Each structure stands twice: as structure tokens, then as C-alpha cells.
Amino acid sequence: MIETIFSPDGFDTTGAGPLYLQLQRRIADAVAAGRLSPGDSLPPERDMAALTGLSRVTIRKAVEGLVTQGHLVQKRGSGTFVAPRVERMEQALSLLTSFTEDMARRGKAVDSLWLSRRIDGPAPEEVMGLGLRAGERIARLERVRRSDGVPLAIERAALPLSVLDAPEEVTGSLYAVLQARGMRPVRAVQRITAANLGERDADLLGVAPGAAGLKIERIGYLANGRAVEFTRSIYRGDAYDFAVELKIADNEGTMP
């Protein structure tokens, strides 16, 4: 199989595009056709060069591109592998749900890899977003959210201590803890921007540095308008789709 994918035959030097792109297409096609499966390892660079007759520089360029696109992953010391398959999930934007609820609806198991759970001083944007008084401290929760073991997002939440004074009590769903305290947000404002993942976040999400991500900021409010949650998340761009339902405006504001 590897011999066919890396066979020296079939490279076109007469205008079918650069050789590294032709090799990338071959590998990507083999993954799409199931001839290479998630987790399969690729031969070392020098073997790929020997099999294809291409230079090691060309092989490296092809592999680097496929890593950036998320088709391959490189593990230091152990080689290059076909990336695990992630299912793209569609998430309605108009519903104020929790990660745990979203995944339960899809029949997926969730768990979190905790990065931090502590009481901390707020960043200036957290003071603004949560409307904190001078000197007020916050509960800070940082975790990698996983669905069926696949990391989907990194969430960094800040909550006033009057809402959550013991961050270590949150072991599963934050919204379930807030609900039990009568503090679950009923309204939220969310801002979504595109971002390329930095090295640390990419590593935590198991993708290549520079891969596409979605940065989401959510400020959640109680019915009385009090802000209870300021959460900054970064979602894997290859795993999440946010869908919004649009309705035509009512008569007010339309042309006579």
C-alpha cells in the first residue's frame, strides 16, 4: 500500500503543479479513500524520498503543508501519522446551552482536562465585562473540553466570587453548579472571531500550530442583568460549525 502511494510513477513534471503539491494530493487522496487510516504512520522522510525519487526538501514541504492543514500530525521522536478523524459538529447559536448539554444531545461523553481552578485577580477586560468593583477577585476556571476523548475547545472562564466562591467545587458542568445556586445565566452576548492557534493552544487541542480556530467570548447574565460569567474559549476550526437562524425584520424599520 505504502509502495503504491509513494511510487515514483505518475509525478508530472510538465505543468501539473509543483511536485510537493502533487505528493500532498496523493497522500490526501489516500486518506480520503481510506487507503491510509487515522493513526497510520508514514515512512521516515528519507524512505519517502527513496520510494518516490523526490528530494527530501520536496517531501518535507509536502508533509509540513499536510500537517498545517490537519491531515497529518507529527509527534516528536516517533514520526508522522495520519491525523485522527474529527467529526464536524454544528451548534445553534441562538440557544444558551452548556458544553455538557450540547454533547449530551449528540450522545457524546464529555470530560475536561483541568488546567487551572483558582481564585485570582481579574484582567482589565474581565473587570469591564463582569462589572466588578475595584479590588474584587474572581474564580478562574481553565480547561480543555473533550467530547468522546477528542479535545474540541479550551475554555477560560472568570466568575465573580459572589457567584462562585469555591472554584474547586466545579468538577463537571459549570452551568449545573450555577443552576444549583440559582445563578445560571439566562441571556448571553457572544462574540466570535477567527484566530490561528498559538503553539500552546494548538498543542492542547492536538492540532498543528497556526491551524484555524474560533475565538469565542461569552458574557452570561442573570435575568436581573447582572453579569455572572465572562468566558473566553478557543474552538478547533475543523471540528465546529456555528449555525444561526435568521428571521426577516418585522414591519418596523422597513421602507414604507
Using CB under 6 A as the binding rule, the residues of this chain from 149 to 178 that contact ligand 16G are 155, 157, 173-176
Alpha-carbon gap, residue 71 to 140, rounded angstroms: 34
- Residue 212 to residues 54, 201, 237, 252, Cα–Cα distance (Å): 30, 11, 5, 39
By beta-carbon proximity to ligand 16G, the closer residue of 25 and 191 is 191
Stretch that binds ligand 16G, among 45-53, 76-84, 98-106, 200-208 (CB under 6 A): 98-106
Residue 182: CB minimum distance to ligand 16G, A: 15
Alpha-carbon gap, residue 178 to 171, rounded angstroms: 12
By beta-carbon proximity to ligand 16G, the closer residue of 11 and 240 is 240
Q: What is the dihedral of CA 127, 133, 184, 105, to 10 degrees?
A: 10
By beta-carbon proximity to ligand 16G, the closer residue of 27 and 197 is 197
Q: How many residues bind ligand 16G (CB under 6 A)?
A: 14
Interface residue with ligand 16G, options 99, 197, 211, 236 (CB under 6 A): 99
Using CB under 6 A as the binding rule, the residues of this chain from 222 to 251 that contact ligand 16G are 229, 231, 233
By beta-carbon proximity to ligand 16G, the closer residue of 68 and 98 is 98
The verdict on 218 binding ligand 16G (CB under 6 A) reads yes
The verdict on 100 binding ligand 16G (CB under 6 A) reads yes
Contact status, residue 206 vs residue 56, Cβ threshold 8 Å: no
Count of residues making up the chain? 256
By beta-carbon proximity to ligand 16G, the closer residue of 47 and 87 is 87
Alpha-carbon gap, residue 167 to 117, rounded angstroms: 6
The verdict on 147 binding ligand 16G (CB under 6 A) reads no
Look at residue 247 and give its three-state secondary structure: coil
Alpha-carbon gap, residue 71 to 66, rounded angstroms: 5
Alpha-carbon gap, residue 157 to 232, rounded angstroms: 6
For ligand 16G, the binding residues (CB under 6 A) are 98-100, 155, 157, 173-176, 216, 218, 229, 231, 233
